[in-house]
Structure 1
Amino acid sequence: MKAYRCWAEIDLGALERNLGRIRAALPPHMQYVAVVKADAYGHGMPRMVARLMQSGASMFAVANVYEGAELREVGRGWPILVLGPILPEEERYLAEYDLTATISTPEEVDRLSAAAARANTILPVHLKIDTGMGRLGVWHEDAASLYEKVMAAAGLKLAGIFTHFSSADTDPAFTSEQRNRFLHALETLPDLDTSKLLIHADNSAGLESLSPDSPFNAVRIGLLQFGCLPYPDSFLAELKPEPVLSFHTRVGITKSLPAGTSISYGQTFQLTRDSRLGVLTAGYGDGIPTTASNRAQVIIRGHRCPVLGRVTMDQTIVDLTDCPEAQAGDRVTLIGHQGDECIEVQEFSQWAMCIPWEAFCSITKRVPRLYRTSREQ
């Protein structure tokens, strides 16, 4: 086996089991929209998409046209929703790669209708309604006028309507207000037949607030399918999602230094005892953020070892004094299980002062992804 200095292991079997559990928890009519933007949250889009296609995903969502084109190379037959705005120079690729655009403004309706005419085709679109995120989408009080413009536009076919909750993991009251705004906006749309459209608002964080008597017939699942709960007290914990990604590096060298020695750039840490240190073969160039300096821990030979000093681009220093058996070449776990110890991405994110989404996406391209199947477990 090739000796890797830093790598991420991706458990394809866990991904498939997570999707199965999520689908089993959803009403039978509910469509599963697998969100795989940002290289499937750093897990590697092509392999993730291929397994999700095999496992029963109904549809995919990406951030932009480039990601949609990359996904389409994996397979055809699944709708692909582009969640971000379409730039003028990207319009022609919607027809070429059979992508569904998101519309937020009248100007987009005009542009995409003209693009459909040039391609001599009908382009599917989803109308996005802004219920309080303040990002993409037509403001909910103005939704009816944009809806009518979409319905009247030659070359466009309305395939769905959706919104996005800004605080589903932290503010249930505001999420409820956003939901009510969305439902009211739907009521203002003339001659709306929701049975012929995908109506979606919930993502992994807001999934628990779905109501069986609502018009919603699709959910967007992102981080949950990769085994990360949006927040620990969620009812989704009952699904017992399995982590799909683990993050590892190696001990490069070990060395001993006396008490009083300063460690790494900026002298932000000073040894208070004679210490044995390990220099790891990964740093912020791999995905260990500098915000984890003097805060994070790693697992070596089943023991937690603290990070000392500032994380550097290619190396990170840890304290091995209480793990005397550690040696050069040892496997180091940054996220994942080793022995009886475990560092979950939520804990890693707290040290990194970020959210789990960002932690996954911050594992850089120079870190190889190694994929394991169920037979290899």
Structure 2
Amino acid sequence: MPKAQETLLEIDLGALAHNYKTIRSRIGADVKFMAVIKAYAYGNDSVAIAKKLEELGADYFAVAYTEEGVRLREAGITTPILILHPQIPGFERIIEHCLEPSLYSDRILKEFINLAEEKKQKDYPVHLKFNTGMNRLGFTEENYKAAVERLSNTNSVKVASAFSHLAASEDWKEREFSLRQINTFRNIAYSLAEKLEYEPLLHICNTSAIFNYPEAAFNMVRTGIGLYGFSNDENIDKDLKPVGTLKSVISQIQELKEGDTVGYNREFKAVQPTRSATLPLGHADGIDRKYGKSNAGVFVNGQYAPIIGNVCMDIIMIDVTDIDCEEGDEVIIFGGPQHPVKFAEAGGTISYELITGISQRVKRVIIPE
């Protein structure tokens, strides 16, 4: 593979296919697969990822916001798309682009039904979100019956799925809480089916739950972070492959004398003759200031080089004193020799925040399967 000559994020569709097949192998053949591709497919490229997953056979996609779904439709994606957190101003766009909203409160449900009736829709697919303990969005076990009554009084919409979200499916210390959530959802779902007189798809399993609570797969699972190579469990991570590799290049090398300082606020001071290398990426690209001051490092020609001084908006500096390198050499920030989880941990954060935070100004390069 050619060496990077600028900052770029390589997106490995072969790794994506591996992760899809690995996760798919953990669920029954009759269980549908919803792929979550919100936030530019977790910081990658939502269109490229969606096209590959469509090819692989994903049954459903999920995104957070309406415009994310519109972007996929405009790129030619035809797979059903669930909008997880729609807002009322986007409802017309949802219907225009055949997207499927999550209806999570009486206000949202009422407004969407009103619009669907105005547009003379019949059995428009919607999804009901239930709050079983996450306490972010959703109808509760106590208040969902009013929603069913609204649904029973219209033929403009039809419930395609009912779902909930586990709060701590990766944490075995919270097993009792997770099981309680699953049981609550099961009770709601079965009651809902009786009242609707038809059976919508049911899903509560996220990536961790697919591995830890397979009995809760119902007839669809919903996976996001696992597709991109992470699971919140290092034992499971061994079976997955990170999709993204962030690379950059050495723009310039500085020869520092003892006492010289580097960067803003002179946070790095050379205590001996030091070689520093400058890279064209910074906190505007998603490499936060918390990675500076030698908290994290990158790899140059297979060797670890700590990030020195403060991370700048468009630049970081690294110590390459003991590394055989020159200007124009490739640098790997994460991926390859450095697992993204390890890099994230060095900055006191998690893989989700790291990979979704890579700026859209960073060039994306698609590596075919």
Quickly name the TM-score band, shorter chain normalised: over 0.9
What is the aligned partner in structure 2 of residue 209 from structure 1? 212
What is the aligned partner in structure 2 of residue 365 from structure 1? 360
| Partner Cα distance (2:24, 2:217) in 1 | 18
Normalising by structure 2, we get a TM-score of 0.92
What is the aligned partner in structure 2 of residue 241 from structure 1? 240
Report whether the alignment pairs 1:166 with 2:167: yes
Which deviates more from structure 2 when the two are superposed, residues 101-110 or residues 292-301?
Answer: 101-110
- Structure 2 gaps of 5+ residues are none
SS at match of 1:333: strand
The Cα shift of 1:343 comes to 0.9
Q: Deviations over 1:28-87 (max 9, x none)?
A: 111110100011111111111111100111110011111111111233542110000332
The Cα shift of 1:192 comes to 5.0
What is the aligned partner in structure 2 of residue 155 from structure 1? 156
Q: How many residues align?
A: 364
What is the aligned partner in structure 2 of residue 199 from structure 1? 202
What is the aligned partner in structure 1 of residue 68 from structure 2? 67
SS at match of 2:365: strand
The Cα shift of 1:237 comes to 4.1
| Partner Cα distance (2:269, 2:77) in 1 | 57
Q: Deviations over 1:142-200 (max 9, x none)?
A: 22332332233341111111011122223333222222222232344361579731100
Q: Share of identical aligned residues, percent?
A: 29
Give the number of the structure with larger relative contact order, counting CA–CA contacts within 8 Å between residues 6 or more apart: 2
What is the aligned partner in structure 2 of residue 127 from structure 1? 128
What is the aligned partner in structure 2 of residue 319 from structure 1? 319
What is the aligned partner in structure 2 of residue 230 from structure 1? 232
Which deviates more from structure 2 when the two are superposed, residues 256-265 or residues 105-114?
Answer: 256-265
SS at match of 1:34: strand
SS at match of 2:325: coil
What is the aligned partner in structure 2 of residue 267 from structure 1? 266
| Partner Cα distance (1:58, 1:153) in 2 | 27
What is the aligned partner in structure 1 of residue 14 from structure 2? 13
Q: Deviations over 1:62-113 (max 9, x none)?
A: 11111111111233542110000332x2111222111111111222222111
| Counterpart amino acid of residue 369 in structure 1 | R
| Counterpart amino acid of residue 40 in structure 1 | A
| Counterpart amino acid of residue 203 in structure 1 | N
SS at match of 1:349: helix
What is the aligned partner in structure 2 of residue 257 from structure 1? 256
Shift of the 27–245 alpha-carbon distance from structure 1 to 2, 3 Å rule, reads same
What is the aligned partner in structure 1 of residue 178 from structure 2? 175
| Partner Cα distance (2:304, 2:269) in 1 | 20
Would you identify which runs of 4 or more consecutive aligned residues in structure 1 move more than 6 Å?
Answer: none
| Partner Cα distance (1:22, 1:74) in 2 | 26
| Partner Cα distance (1:332, 1:120) in 2 | 57
| Counterpart amino acid of residue 335 in structure 1 | F
Q: Deviations over 1:241-261 (max 9, x none)?
A: 122110011111112212333
